[in-house]
Structure 1
Amino acid sequence: MSDPRPDSPRAIVDRRALATRIADLVAEKGASKARPEVVVLLKQALEDGRSELADRLLAAPGAGHDIASDNAYLIDQLLRVVHDHVVHDVLPQDEEIRDAVDSEERFAIMAVGGYGRAEMAPHSDVDIAFIAPRADAPWCAKAIEAILYFLWDLGLTVGQSIRTPKETVQLAKDDLTIRTALLEARFVWGDRAIYEDVRRRFWAEVVHGSEKTYVAEKLAERSARHERMGDSRYVVEPNVKEGKGGLRDLQTLYWIGKYIHRVRHGVDLIEAGLFRPSEYRQFRRAENFFWAVRCHLHTITDRNEDRLTFDVQREVAARMNFADRPGKSAVERFMQYYFMQAKRVGALTGVFLAQLDEQFRGAPRRGLLATFRQRKRELRGYTVYGGKIDAPTDDWFRKDPQRLIEIFQLAIDNGLEVHPAAMRRAARDAGLVRELRDDPRANAMFLDILTHRDRPDIVLRWMNDTGVFGRFVPDFGRVNAQMQFDMYHHYTVDEHTIRAIGLLARIEAGELQRDHPRARELIEQLANRRVLYVAVLLHDIAKGRGGDHSQLGAEIAEELCPRFGMDEEEAELVAWLVREHLLMSRTAFKRDLADPRTIEDFAGDVLTLERLRLLTVLTVVDIRAVGPGTWNDWKRQLIGSLYELTEQRLRLGHQKHGRRSSVSRRKSAVGELLGARHPLVEYPGETLPDSYWIAEPADVIAENLASLAASELGDIAISCRPDPERGATLATVIAPDHPGLFYRIAGGINAAGGNIIDARIHTTDKGVALDNFLLQDPNGQPMGERDQLERLRENIEDALSPEGDPLEPQLARKPQTQWRAEAFDVRPRVLFDNKASKRLTVIEVVAQDRPALLYRLGRALFRAGLVVHSAHVATYGERAADVFYVTDEDGAKVKDKDRLRAIEQALLEASRPKELEAA
């Protein structure tokens, strides 16, 4: 026999040749003794088949459908070989058994679920149903058990069921998952008559009459899945199978179409009236792409992995032949294409459901509601019914392109949804909106939508889904579906922006009063709220172009604002906000707010109270819209402190007066918290500098004062408690101040498994150090278990003990968590600033975040003869920015260039990605 062609099915697996080799082994040794060698043959066939498919995938990296189908073919052939071997060789073949087999002991093997669709990734579960004619069938039970043992020996993950036809039909009636699995059922091997009986009864007894119920249940299931997976198709580590806009959403459409119209193939959705040919081509293109991605994922990870995590995105992008372009890396281009496909799936879903709704509405009604029809009404020429606004004719937008924006304005003004049929037409005709970019009325309508008080994000997302948004504002179109390859940003740029606009509207409406009382108050004080909304829209609009996106975005704002109908003063203010939208967060998180120069410099940049209010609100919504958990009480406190201190500086114009006022207010707040112990505010409070009262929140100060009063000079006091509001654990250390104290505490925290997210270092006038650390476990959660807190306290105590073991070998022996940050290449750098503080040198180290980084940096500073006065830890996903305010041992700034170069080299060495070494 000649070798099979490279692209033929037999190049994947040659079932007949495999069966012949197994038959020869059985003939030579008998079925029982040949079993180990049979398993080896089957394993080799599976391995060779997967290797062949992996080669085909590399040769044609976008052939998702073909590879998915070929994987199912490989399993089909192996399952058939195993079945025949078990039935003919493994089970006893005496006369009695043969007679039984010929009469009743028969069974069918059905592929169900994805395997039933003949679509599988390399490591997908093998979902099969064994259907036997009756429950008490011992021969069937033995045969099925033997088949399953072979499949398990092959290392396959098998989802199996063993049922009679009657049980199968009854369970399908009661269980949505089983019903859907059977909807995909496909005959693999065995007795076809049993399979056909089940299929006939399934359609007649389960499906018939339950169509509407099935659709409602599948859509509810889809919504629950979306919520579970983050309810956005733009999360930057998407699940290819289960995520919003992924494979499961496409499959849901096919399931519904098949259930309602009995379609056998996806292309039949066209004849069923649910898709146009062009839309079905989009369906197939997206499905093919997702299958290719999923197959690459399984091949790279060598397991059933459907989440497109950062550590594999680069490799998938390379395998699928995406290349770098100016301003955009290969992985960012790949992920942008991914999100464009996910977006298209969302649009197709809307079209599909709209057509389905029309078909259901057009179906004959029965009973009391038979004569009821929902009344339609007209709104400025549009048709409104069922809470949705629709275009009355197919050429509605072509006759007047202004309607492409008008329909969304009418929707938001009247609390309506845009009908999916209108969305379909708008998507088709979206290109016409280009001619309206300089049209005053169109721009006025767009600005009205953007600044609307009733959830403008929903309508902007509809506009984005149709492509109208990106074509009307082409700079926004450039960031459509654009991801940033980092661990900090959870969403694509367009999704982040629309979420920020939605948050702003909710804060203004008072919905988030508890979370953002200050922002709510500041919005009410603004002289021009639309400046803020436009600034939020444009703050990230220049990302992905290379260069400073803030500066480039400001230039775009200067061009766009006049087009939107804003005057010169508004345009200038929007441009400033876009240019400086990171200024407040950088200052709050990286600078010492207790240092007078910090406030002086920040106030000098802001200049006016109106700018301060605008920038504060913009900063809040920008951070919160990054993703879940990014905004917390600690950041709220830092932003709030910076606002208050700057507001005083701008309003009073006298820094000292403002500091005294801030300290006085903070002492009053602490006194209220202490109650009967309020005298502690003045004693030992008198020993603490003003910077302490400005830097620390009132509740932390109250705890600190109680601990300080209870401690004796020369003693070490350590307290650790979870702080759910700040999403961290607060560790407070009171100890005699001495060089190296900071890095030793940091090492103790790291040795206990804690990651420091902020550090506040204070010294009383009696030489007692009072240091507060906020920390989290490796998963970004507070350390709250009793044994965790005790281990933390003990490790800090050991680190401060003169006779304790050196920390370096301790940390080197400690198993390090496999950080997701390892997927990124962050080049470490060190920045010195002798202008940011009047008496201290500010050192900023940007490096890849990793366990014990702060300890290593602190140790390097100690060995360089520097005294750390405060440390500020800002983490942006995989990137850490640790800022230290230092002096030399004589209390002076560090200015000597040679010494600065030596310090820089020491810090770069400390931040390099290598394991700790014993000293």
Structure 2
Amino acid sequence: MIRDAEGFGGRGARPAAGDLVRARAALLAPAPGQRRLAAADLRTALTDLHDFWLAAHAAAAGVGSSGVALVAVGALGRRELAPCSDLDLVLAHTGRRAPAELADRLWYPLWDAGIGLDHAVRTPDEAVRVAGRDQRVAFGLLEARHLAGDPLVSGALTDAVRRAWRSGIRDRLGELTEAAAARWARSGDVAHRVEPDLKNGRGGLRDLGLLDALAAAHVVDRPGGEVLRARALLLDVRTELHRLAGRARDVLRAQDGDEVAAALGMADRFDLARALSSAGRTVAYAVDVALRAARSAAPRRRLGPLGRVAWHRGAGKGSPHRVPLDDGVVLHGGVAEPRGGRRGGDAPPAAGEVALAREALPSRDAGLLLRVAASAARVRAPIAAGTLARLADSAPELRRPWPRPAREELLALLGSGPGLPDVVEALDRTGLWGRLFPEWGAVRDLPPRDAAHTWTVDRHLVQTVVEANRLVTGVSRPDLLLLAALLHDVGKGRGGDHAAVGADLARQVGDRIGLWPADVDLLAAAVRHHLLLPHTATRRDVTDPATVRRVVDTLGRDPVLLDLLHALAEADALATGPGVWTVWKAALVNDLVGHCRAAMAEGALPRPAPLDEEQRRRAEAVAAGGRADVLVSVADHLATVTVVAPDRPGLLSRAAGVLALHSLQVHAAELRGHAGAAVDVFTVSPRFGSPPDAALLREHLNRALDGSLPLAERLAAKERDYGGPPVDPPPPRLLWFDDEASGAVVLELRAADRIGLLHHVAAALESCGLDVRWARASTYGPTAVDAFCVHVDPGAPSAARLPAAERARVERTVLAALS
């Protein structure tokens, strides 16, 4: 757009840097009556202006001689110069003469005029060496563009850098990935952040540079149209932010949002935030896919996510292979690392990608999508792009109501903790999350109206689920806590009271996924009242009986709902932003909950159902014969395993261990007896394929009972094979309940589920000499809530049935078994 040298001193005259400064100012603040340039036009005009002035300046300084060239890198090299961007320049030379004096003539006028300048003097060989050490230098040189002087020199420099980049990309993938991850950790996401870092954040302009660098290495294709549109928006926002601030700024503050939005023709900062969130997600997802594709295209290096070494293509140990994760789901190209023993941090991601097994048929298996998602979140590995495409093209819709296995997989996904956000993002980018939850569209990329929020509404909901995972052992219904966390703000963006709207939507979701009507009511109530406790605690006197009575009456005197709301209030606040859940606020809510719980009548303890005639008949036969029997019946993807054996200490732990050994996940267990025989009924589902044959279970159970099957060793090996115990799980919680009517003493355990959990706990109780009268083992996604009724003297006073010291010893033993 700058056509001639007028204003720069004319032909043959040394152009003045002051003229460049004045010309820049005229572009940024045009005179009255002149057109204000749009963001993209402004960048083009600024680039043309600097190109022309620098070419003239270089010629006047003597760069026109052979063997020397002035090269633009960085934003100027990409023709993406923002109003306050620094100039990145390289004086390239052949090395035949030292260009120090020439460099001084180039750089000093720019410095004297106050123009930001990043400069270097390099031969092509020197440029290759520096680029090999410094990633940012390499990225800049890959974008180099000739400005003035000898084009053969600038061509030699760019050719040498690009050849070295392509040949060395295998050695640099780990460095690239680690540097990106460190930058993301410092700067956060462009998507979902209320005040995004447009340049350094995940999904920002530096990530676009990473995509360009990978494409320059010929390991991935050039970005497609969606990424290019995201790039244009990010550049336009940054351009207007520079123009507004009058200085280089990369973080879009909330107070600047309306002005930047108006400059771009948008209604307000909320429209701008939603568009930016979508653009950031597009770029971030493209980078994730590109890095995985690059690792696949450069297989000789032993690289995993975040630069971790995991495998390399080739024969022998360490070759890529397919590890089964679930029915129809495998981990391809890596292994799920053993996760036991780590504490105080997140589990490292597994190497490789989660993919469909060869025999999987997405078109015939409606639950396959959720199994893939839950498996990927559990091992924290990405879902292969091809798998997402196959699922998007051919996965059938889940029929209403969802079958129980699909609901269990959803809970497993929600209970995966740190692995959840990336999986939800991948599903959402490919339209699969919207199939599961059509209600999500209104909150997708929706910016919050409250300045305290860090995330967009959709990301806040996912983050609340992550925070709720740390609290699941504090409630008796962890499944409903996770669902309420996911849905508590889903009513936003629709007008009206978002809690009331959200309760209706939660009821809709609960019906669709197949919850029992009473559970649907409880879920809707949790969403409807999710603000009740924090608002009441911070605005009223929590010791006032009227306050307590109001809360109790609002909740229908339901202690389960009260505990759900307590945990949800904490998770919601933690996911809102730093400093929202304070010690003071936690203490107020705790006091309010304590007063409300005391005012609510405790519900009766559960009782096991009586045996039917067939169970009594088999119990009598086993009591007479002395050998254990096992029956298996299958209905609707679930199996019922009935264990009938002579009643003896250790039966429960051994039976539970045999089931775990055969990859049967226990959802519920009831222990009863008749005629001197125990009748233990387990509701289970197979982790893979079909349930094992009853004869095989019978053989292994009898071997476990006679001591010829080393259960502990076999279970430990199996847990290692499938990634080890959970990493940084929520703290287990033990609760005692005394039923005055029956004289029963019940120990309830709430803990993260794991292979053989019921076996370990039952063995711990047996080692304490306790006789378990009945047990209820319930699994809600990744959390187990197991209740054990222990035999005591019903005629003894309450305090004497199981003294406090004995209860403390039992608790220590159980917790030790879990660790």
TM-score bracket, shorter-length normalisation: 0.5 to 0.7
Q: Distance in 2 between matches of 1:486 and 1:125?
A: 35
Report the counterpart of residue 558 of structure 1 in structure 2.
Answer: 507
Q: Distance in 1 between matches of 2:227 and 2:174?
A: 22
8 Å Cα contact 1:491/1:626 also seen in 2 = yes
5+ residue gaps, structure 2: 304-310, 336-352, 604-819
Question: Cα offset for 1:339?
Answer: 1.0
Report the counterpart of residue 537 of structure 1 in structure 2.
Answer: 486
Q: Distance in 1 between matches of 2:273 and 2:93?
A: 47
Say what the alpha-carbon RMSD is for the aligned residues. Answer: 3.6
Task: Pick one of 486, 497, 502 that aligns with 2:450.
Answer: 486
Whether 1:147 and 2:106 are equivalent positions in the alignment is yes
8 Å Cα contact 1:310/1:485 also seen in 2 = no
Report the counterpart of residue 312 of structure 1 in structure 2.
Answer: 256
Q: Distance in 2 between matches of 1:256 and 1:618?
A: 43
Structural mapping, 1:54-73, within 5 Å: 64=40, 67-73=42-48
C-alpha distance after superposition, 1:462-496 (max 9, x if no partner): 43343312232111232111111331110011111
Report the counterpart of residue 350 of structure 1 in structure 2.
Answer: 288
Structural mapping, 1:706-785, within 5 Å: none
Whether 1:614 and 2:564 are equivalent positions in the alignment is yes
Distance 1:294 1:454, change over 3 A: closer
8 Å Cα contact 2:376/2:419 also seen in 1 = no
Question: Cα offset for 1:456?
Answer: 6.5
Task: Pick one of 540, 557, 560 that aligns with 1:591.
Answer: 540
Question: Cα offset for 1:461?
Answer: 4.2
Question: Cα offset for 1:151?
Answer: 2.0
C-alpha distance after superposition, 1:530-585 (max 9, x if no partner): 22222111110011111110111111122221212112211111111111111111
Question: Cα offset for 1:179?
Answer: 2.2
8 Å Cα contact 1:58/1:319 also seen in 2 = no
Report the counterpart of residue 579 of structure 2 in structure 1.
Answer: 629
5+ residue gaps, structure 1: 1-8, 89-100, 262-271, 324-329, 509-519, 654-919
Report the counterpart of residue 411 of structure 2 in structure 1.
Answer: 448
8 Å Cα contact 2:417/2:467 also seen in 1 = no
8 Å Cα contact 1:339/1:481 also seen in 2 = yes
Report the counterpart of residue 498 of structure 2 in structure 1.
Answer: 549
Q: Distance in 2 between matches of 1:218 and 1:56?
A: 45
Report the counterpart of residue 221 of structure 2 in structure 1.
Answer: 274
8 Å Cα contact 1:540/1:553 also seen in 2 = yes
Question: In structure 1, the residue corresponding to 2:299 is in which secondary structure?
Answer: helix
Structural mapping, 1:14-25, within 5 Å: 14-19=3-8, 21=10, 23=12
Whether 1:235 and 2:193 are equivalent positions in the alignment is yes
Structural mapping, 1:292-441, within 5 Å: 292-323=236-267, 330-361=268-299, 370-372=314-316, 373-376=319-322, 380-385=327-332, 386-387=334-335, 388-391=353-356, 397=362, 402-412=367-377, 415=379, 417-422=381-386, 424-425=388-389, 429=393, 436=399, 439-440=402-403
Equivalent position amino acid for 1:375 in 2: H
8 Å Cα contact 1:226/1:232 also seen in 2 = no
Task: Pick one of 76, 85, 88 that aligns with 2:51.
Answer: 76
Report the counterpart of residue 308 of structure 2 in structure 1.
Answer: none
Question: Cα offset for 1:617?
Answer: 0.5
Whether 1:167 and 2:126 are equivalent positions in the alignment is yes
Equivalent position amino acid for 1:348 in 2: A
Q: Distance in 1 between matches of 2:233 and 2:19?
A: 33
C-alpha distance after superposition, 1:164-188 (max 9, x if no partner): 4443333223222222222222221
8 Å Cα contact 1:107/1:194 also seen in 2 = yes
8 Å Cα contact 1:135/1:164 also seen in 2 = no
Report the counterpart of residue 720 of structure 1 in structure 2.
Answer: none
Task: Pick one of 573, 593, 600 that aligns with 1:650.
Answer: 600
Equivalent position amino acid for 2:445 in 1: A
Distance 1:438 1:77, change over 3 A: farther
Report the counterpart of residue 216 of structure 1 in structure 2.
Answer: 174
When the two structures are aligned, how many residues end up with a matched partner? 573
Equivalent position amino acid for 1:643 in 2: V
8 Å Cα contact 2:329/2:371 also seen in 1 = no
**TM-score relative to the length of structure 2:** 0.63
Report the counterpart of residue 61 of structure 2 in structure 1.
Answer: 86
8 Å Cα contact 1:500/1:625 also seen in 2 = yes
Question: Cα offset for 1:355?
Answer: 2.7
**TM-score relative to the length of structure 1:** 0.57
- Higher relative CO (Cα under 8 Å, sequence separation at least 6) belongs to 2
Q: Distance in 1 between matches of 2:244 and 2:101?
A: 37
8 Å Cα contact 1:464/1:470 also seen in 2 = yes
Report the counterpart of residue 657 of structure 1 in structure 2.
Answer: none
Distance 1:113 1:421, change over 3 A: same
Q: Distance in 1 between matches of 2:368 and 2:221?
A: 25
Structural mapping, 1:815-834, within 5 Å: none
Equivalent position amino acid for 1:503 in 2: E
Whether 1:119 and 2:80 are equivalent positions in the alignment is yes
Distance 1:536 1:594, change over 3 A: same
8 Å Cα contact 1:588/1:638 also seen in 2 = yes
C-alpha distance after superposition, 1:4-41 (max 9, x if no partner): xxxxx2xxx23433445375xx5xxxx7xxx8xx4443
Distance 1:615 1:461, change over 3 A: same
Question: In structure 2, the residue corresponding to 1:233 is in which secondary structure?
Answer: coil
Equivalent position amino acid for 2:79 in 1: A
Distance 1:456 1:151, change over 3 A: closer
C-alpha distance after superposition, 1:100-143 (max 9, x if no partner): x968xx63211122322222212111111123444973xx4333
Question: Cα offset for 1:195?
Answer: 2.2
Question: Cα offset for 1:220?
Answer: 1.0
Q: Distance in 2 between matches of 1:617 and 1:55?
A: 60
Report the counterpart of residue 878 of structure 1 in structure 2.
Answer: none
Q: Distance in 2 between matches of 1:530 and 1:56?
A: 62
Task: Pick one of 29, 39, 47 that aligns with 2:25.
Answer: 47
8 Å Cα contact 2:91/2:122 also seen in 1 = yes
Task: Pick one of 135, 144, 149 that aligns with 1:190.
Answer: 149
Question: In structure 2, the residue corresponding to 1:417 is in which secondary structure?
Answer: coil
Question: Cα offset for 1:240?
Answer: 1.2
Q: Distance in 2 between matches of 1:609 and 1:223?
A: 43
Q: Distance in 2 between matches of 1:362 and 1:147?
A: 44
Q: Distance in 1 between matches of 2:521 and 2:160?
A: 71
Structural mapping, 1:778-817, within 5 Å: none
Question: In structure 1, the residue corresponding to 2:5 is in which secondary structure?
Answer: helix
Distance 1:333 1:19, change over 3 A: closer
Q: Distance in 2 between matches of 1:448 and 1:54?
A: 62
Distance 1:183 1:160, change over 3 A: same
